[in-house]
């Protein structure tokens, strides 16, 4: 086909690198650490059924269009949820979106022109990189370490940039990052917001995982730092979602931001989908009103923590010579840096042969990287599968790198939990 009829960005676009792994999932017996899906047995099916029955049991009005900004009752409930996390936005400062994925897309539409400069933490959430690539902006990476995005490195980058290429926004997942699993430490949170105010860029704080914490530590949202430092000039735009705490099928996300941003995003949303499904918004509203949310989140935290522990115990026992990682304190992901001698395509193929899947770290960088790393999710597989998956990973690594075998060559994690 004559591709010149497509827009410049879509002449030869590349799809999501994670979705491209889907064909491997049909392999019988495969254990996947690759997906970013929450565990279905943690969905509160009874609560959702009750909420849906309440919504569909009455008048036909529930099948009508709704306001672009979202149903007022849902905005109230989401504002309450945010306030419990320290995001002091009122209902009128929230826009309901079709997943938080749409919220970012609306920001790309309303804030960015081709050629603009955007900062992202590295490694970064691939769908964000994809949206930025399609928007034809210049993406600059800011490295992360065990304490999240390195603000000193960001400061140097900002100082070096010419005025013409000053960034318009910075994207970060500061709490239990996807993919790195890390938390941005308190001191850096304040520095990051200070830098945004000093250099005049927005921060997109993407927070789908913040409530999935394995500790009692509190992580003050960047949004709140921004409010305290700048009030109505808050440079932080807060995004969140019910996908990881209730159910992704609700496709319910939201954005908290100032009026100028929200009004423009609402206009962009009018052309995207008019409004997010009022039906699922009503189900979400009813669900949040049932009083079951906190218990469901607590259950998810306990389950994910247990799974993370089994995964990290296994990696420590079997693969400490081949990889290193920061133990996640929440969320769904573990990021591991591999031994520099690890042959990457060979490892992926060996893992597929053994029946275990991960996401290659290269998916999380905007340009080719020499860094050898992988992302593994501990959210979906059960405990026995996690143990077996780690055993398979070990066998695959041993097969491709006989020289960097650990001294405990014959160890294996006991199966059967």
Cβ of 173: how many Cβ atoms within 10 Å?
30
Minimum separation from the CB atom of position 241 to ligand PMP (A)? 3
Minimum separation from the CB atom of position 73 to ligand PMP (A)? 20
Question: 3-state DSSP helix/strand/coil percent for the chain, to nearest 5?
Answer: 50, 15, 35
Burial letters 372-405, b for 16+ CB under 10 A, else e: bbbbbbbbbbebebbbbbbbbbbbbbbebbeebe
Residue 46, CA distances (Å) to 69, 287, 293 in order: 29, 10, 12
Report the residue number, 106 or 413, with the smaller CB distance to ligand PMP: 106
Minimum separation from the CB atom of position 125 to ligand PMP (A)? 4
As a whole number of angstroms, the distance between CA 245 and CA 84 comes to: 14
Measured at CB, which residue is nearest to ligand PMP?
99
Report the residue number, 125 or 358, with the smaller CB distance to ligand PMP: 125
Query: Measuring CA to CA, which residue among 318, 348, 312, 242 is closest to residue 21?
Result: 348
Query: What secondary structure, in 3-state letters, does 163-225 show?
Result: HHHCEEEEEECCECCCCCCCECCHHHHHHHHHHHHHHCCEEEEECCCCCCECCCCCCCCHHHH
Report the residue number, 99 or 328, with the smaller CB distance to ligand PMP: 99
Cβ of 26: how many Cβ atoms within 10 Å?
7
Minimum separation from the CB atom of position 102 to ligand PMP (A)? 7
Are the C-beta atoms of residues 68 and 92 closer than 8 Å to each other? no
Of how many residues is the chain composed?
Answer: 417
As a whole number of angstroms, the distance between CA 291 and CA 112 comes to: 40
Backbone angles phi, psi at 262, to 5 degrees: -60, -40
Minimum separation from the CB atom of position 131 to ligand PMP (A)? 10
Minimum separation from the CB atom of position 249 to ligand PMP (A)? 9
93 DSSP 8-state letter? G
Report the residue number, 243 or 280, with the smaller CB distance to ligand PMP: 243
As a whole number of angstroms, the distance between CA 18 and CA 20 comes to: 5
Minimum separation from the CB atom of position 36 to ligand PMP (A)? 4
Report the residue number, 35 or 314, with the smaller CB distance to ligand PMP: 35
Report the residue number, 100 or 401, with the smaller CB distance to ligand PMP: 100
Minimum separation from the CB atom of position 178 to ligand PMP (A)? 4
Report the residue number, 106 or 282, with the smaller CB distance to ligand PMP: 106
Report the residue number, 173 or 308, with the smaller CB distance to ligand PMP: 173
Binding site for ligand PMP (CB under 6 A): 36, 99-101, 125, 173, 178, 206, 208, 241, 243, 248, 253
């Amino acid at each position: 086909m004559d591709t010149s009829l497509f827009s410049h960005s879509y002449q030869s676009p590349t799809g999501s690198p994670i979705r491209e792994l889907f064909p491997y999932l049909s392999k019988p017996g495969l254990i996947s650490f690759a997906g970013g899906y929450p565990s279905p047995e943690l969905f509160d099916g009874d609560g959702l059924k009750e909420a849906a029955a309440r919504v569909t049991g009455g008048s036909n009005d529930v099948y009508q269009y709704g306001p672009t900004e979202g149903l007022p009752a849902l905005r109230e409930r989401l504002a309450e949820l945010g306030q419990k996390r320290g995001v002091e936005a009122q209902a009128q400062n929230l826009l309901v979106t079709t997943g938080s994925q749409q919220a970012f897309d609306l920001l790309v539409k309303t804030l960015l022109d081709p050629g603009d400069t955007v900062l992202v933490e590295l490694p970064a959430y691939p769908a964000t990189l994809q949206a930025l690539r399609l928007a034809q902006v210049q993406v600059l990476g800011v490295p992360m370490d065990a304490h999240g995005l390195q603000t000193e490195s960001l400061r140097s980058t900002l100082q070096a940039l010419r005025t013409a290429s000053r960034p318009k926004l910075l994207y970060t997942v500061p709490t239990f990052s996807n993919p790195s699993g890390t938390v941005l430490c308190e001191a850096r949170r304040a520095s990051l917001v200070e830098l945004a105010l000093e250099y005049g860029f927005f921060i997109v704080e993407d927070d789908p995982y913040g409530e999935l914490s394995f500790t009692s530590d509190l992580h003050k949202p960047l949004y709140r730092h921004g409010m305290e430092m700048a009030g109505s000039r808050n440079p932080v735009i807060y995004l969140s979602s019910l996908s990881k705490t209730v159910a992704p099928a609700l496709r319910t996300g939201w954005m908290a931001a100032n009026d100028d941003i929200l009004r423009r995003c609402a206009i962009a949303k009018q052309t995207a989908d008019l409004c997010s499904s009022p039906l699922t918004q009503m189900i979400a509203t009813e669900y949040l009103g049932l009083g079951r949310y906190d218990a469901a989140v607590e259950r998810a935290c306990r389950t994910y923590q247990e799974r993370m522990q089994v995964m990290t115990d296994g990696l420590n026992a079997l693969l400490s010579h081949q990889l290193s990682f920061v133990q996640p304190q929440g969320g769904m992901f573990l990021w591991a840096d591999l031994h520099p001698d690890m042959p990457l395509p060979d490892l992926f193929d060996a893992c597929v042969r053994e029946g275990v899947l991960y996401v290659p770290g290269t998916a999380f960088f905007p340009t080719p990287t020499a860094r050898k790393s992988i992302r593994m999710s501990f959210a979906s597989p059960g405990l026995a599968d996690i143990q077996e998956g780690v055993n398979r990973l070990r066998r695959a690594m041993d097969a491709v790198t006989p020289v960097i075998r650990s001294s405990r060559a014959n160890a294996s994690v006991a199966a059967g939990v």
